[in-house]
Structures are given as C-alpha cells and as structure tokens.
Amino acid sequence: MSGVPEGVPCLLMRGGTSKGAYFLAGDLPAEPALRDDLLLRIMGSPDERQIDGLGGAHPLTSKVAVVSPSADPDTDVDYLFLQVAVDRAAVSDRQNCGNILAGVGPFAVERGLVAAGPERTSVRIRMVNSGDRATATFPTPGGRVDPTGSAEISGVPGAAAPVLIEFPPGPRPLLPTGSVREEIEGVEVTCVDNGMPTVLIAAASLQVTGYESPAALEGDRGLAGRLRAIRLEAGRRMGLGDVTDTTVPKLTLLAPPREGGAVTTRTFIPVRCHPSIGVLGAAGVAAGLRMEGSVGAGPARLEPGVDRMRIEHPTGFLDIETSLGSTPEGLPSVRRTAVVRTARKIFDGTVFPRSAGTAPTHPHPLGEQR
C-alpha cells in the first residue's frame, strides 16, 4: 500500500548494561544519510520519550549495532555501532560501545554469519568505528545460543550466560596526548584511549565527592559548565577535533572506593551521568589507574601483582582485567584487557519505522534540551 513504511528485520537485545537494536548491514540502506534517517524513525527520535519508536528515552537504550560478514581474514564479522540521539535528529558513529558489543557474537550466530560450536563459540569482531578488535566467547550447547546461566553483572537484574570479551591492543596510542597527566581549565586530568577516548578526573578537583547520585551531578549547572569546557579542550588535544556535537571523549570522575573495589567512578556520556559504566570506558579507567603519575594514582586502591580490578559505579561494580607494558619510547601501552558481560535476546522480528517526513515539530515537549 502506498505510504506504508516497509518493515525491517531487527533483533532487540540487551548487551551488558545497554539495550539496542541489532541489524544486518544488508537490511539497511548503504548510504549513511539514508540509513541514519531510517534509524531515527525506527528509534523514535527526536523525542524525549521516543514514544513512537524502539528507543527507551535514554542514551543507554537508544543504540544500534550494524553487523556484516568481515572481509578481514583475521575477523569473522564487522560491527558498526551507532548512537542515536534521543531528543535530537542525530546519529553518531564517533565511538564504540563495549556493552552492545556483548551481543554481537550471539547475534552473528543467530543470523547465521558464524557457525556455532557444539559447546562454546568464539566470534572475532572488528569494531568498524575505530578499527579495534575483540573476541567474544559464549556458551552454545548443542550448537545454539543459550542465554541462561549464572553470571551476574551490576545494573542488570538476574543472571545470564557469561560472554567473555577479550581486547587485544588497539592501533591507537594509549595516551593520545603523549602525557600521563596534564592540566585543562585548571584541572589535572589523564587522557586515555583503551578502545574509548576517556578523560579521567579526580572528583575532588571539581569540588564534588564522586559519591553523588547521577541525578545530583546532572543537576549541578556549575559542574556541567566546567565539564563541558574540559571535554572540548580534551577532545582537541586528543586529536578528535571539535567534539561539540559528539559523544566522545567520555569524562570519568574518580574517588576512593567505598565497597572494597579499586576506585569509585561517575561517568558522563557526555552530559548525562551513566547509571553504571561502559565496558570500554572501564577499560580506559583500568589502564589509567595502572599508570604511575596519573590522576587515578591518588584515589585508586590496587592489589599488587593482580590484573583484575573492581571498578565501582553508581549501581554496583564491574570487574575487568588489564595489564600494561611500554612502547619503545617508554610510554605505557596495553598488553591485554578482558571483561565478562552478559547479553540476552529480547525479541526477533520486524520493526516498522515512522513514516518519512513526520518528525515531531516540537522535539522537546518535556523541558529544555540537556
């Protein structure tokens, strides 16, 4: 029937502490502008409630994975992550997402891109956004993805099958600015990139404790202004250019641990305060804490000789393993990063986008844009 939008095959999954729509690349337009317009209509943006689409009115539930067979002989699939803005007509490919990454391996098996093993399956993944690689290993008893298991992660109720994600060293320097510690806007920071451009800041240097709730931190207008200024300059120094309209670099405030972990964190993505912490953001924190002289050296409580550390966040913790080496120039470099996540298929079917040209006239009905 004329005017009726065509449906698109889609698998909605929870990956880690995020939720997103997973698509085969061949089911979406190849032209980025057409693809992004379609995804905005599928997710229901721009609208603070995303009431007319799949999105959940928060950056953590407005995510998309586009997966395809990889032409790289060293990887099985390519994974493009797209962050769909909630209250703006914007789609960004400027970052990776380690939580949505947790669902890419199971999705690849579900869609027949990778054959399942009789007990476990490992899927080698190229993250198109950055060129980084990861290997996801998960149970496939009887040659089928089985999401049931006993692994628990903070921020997700219940338990599920573990997805072990291992990250080899990426192609970019761990210290994009070449400095372990530097000053931006009068605040000492450490800029790292262990799969996600991240700026580490001691919470006390911004006159907050680092134990505040996300809502309290988001409501602090003075803090928001300082963080914005730091982020813009850090982005420039890290080689990211003008980051005004992007979601990277992330900013993570650090404070001494309260629950027996290595450090307490509050992460901004980039304006909203994360209710937990992203996998790749945690990888950056873990690497930063291990650098002598970094801003994390003060707040951190590390166990000598142990690769695993527990990173505390507003809703619990994330355990991650990281070990460092050094470059020929004597700068820190990453040897290995590994983390356990979980993922679960929520539905598999056809999604019907909003009709083209029907974006809301007033995309911010519930208040000003944040």
- Residues of the chain where predicted confidence (pLDDT) is lower than 70: 1-5, 358-370
The pLDDT assigned to 301 comes to: 94
Asked whether residue 339 is assigned to any structural domain, the reply reads no
Rounded to 5°, angle at Cα 93 from 69 and 294 = 110
* Residue 113, domain member (yes or no): yes
pLDDT for residue 366: 36
Q: Give the pLDDT score at 367.
A: 36
- Inter-residue contact 299 to 202 (CB < 8 Å): yes
Number of domains in the chain: 2
User: Do 255 and 202 belong to one domain?
Assistant: yes
Q: Are residues 196 and 273 in the same domain?
A: yes
Same domain, 209 and 232: yes
Q: So what's the pLDDT on residue 369?
A: 33
Let me know whether 49 and 118 are in one domain: yes
Q: What is the pLDDT of residue 4?
A: 57
**Quick one: pLDDT at residue 361?**
53
Q: Are residues 163 and 310 in the same domain?
A: no
Task: Give residues with Cβ within 8 angstroms of 250, minimum separation 6.
Answer: 196, 197, 198, 199, 267, 268, 269, 270, 278, 281, 284
135 and 198, same domain (yes or no): no
Select from 277, 287, 52, 289 the least CA-distant residue to 154.
277
Is 3 part of a structural domain of the chain? no
319 lies in the same domain as 226:
yes
User: Residues 148, 194: one domain?
Assistant: no
Give residue 41's identity as a one-letter amino acid code: R
The model's pLDDT over 210-221, given as tens digits with 9 standing for 90+, comes to 999 999 999 999
Residue span of the structural domain in which 319 resides = 182-326
Asked if 25 and 117 sit in the same domain, the reply is yes
CA–CA distances in Å: residue 196 to residues 211, 224, 283: 23, 21, 8
Q: Which two tokens stand for residue 2?
A: 């004329």
Residue 286 lies in a domain: yes
- Taking only the tens place, the pLDDT of each residue in 164-222 is 999 988 788 999 999 999 999 999 999 999 989 999 999 999 999 999 999 999 999 99
Interior angle at CA 97, CA 286 and CA 86, nearest 5: 125
**CA–CA separation, 99 vs 96, rounded Å?**
9
Q: Is residue 337 part of a domain?
A: no
95 with 248: CB under 8 angstroms? Answer: yes
CATH number of 223's domain? 3.10.310.10
Structural domain contains residue 361:
no
The answer on 267 and 141 residing in a single domain is no
Residues 244, 155 share a domain: no
Whether 49 and 150 map to the same domain: the answer is yes
Say if 332 falls within a structural domain.
Answer: no
In a domain, 363, yes or no: no
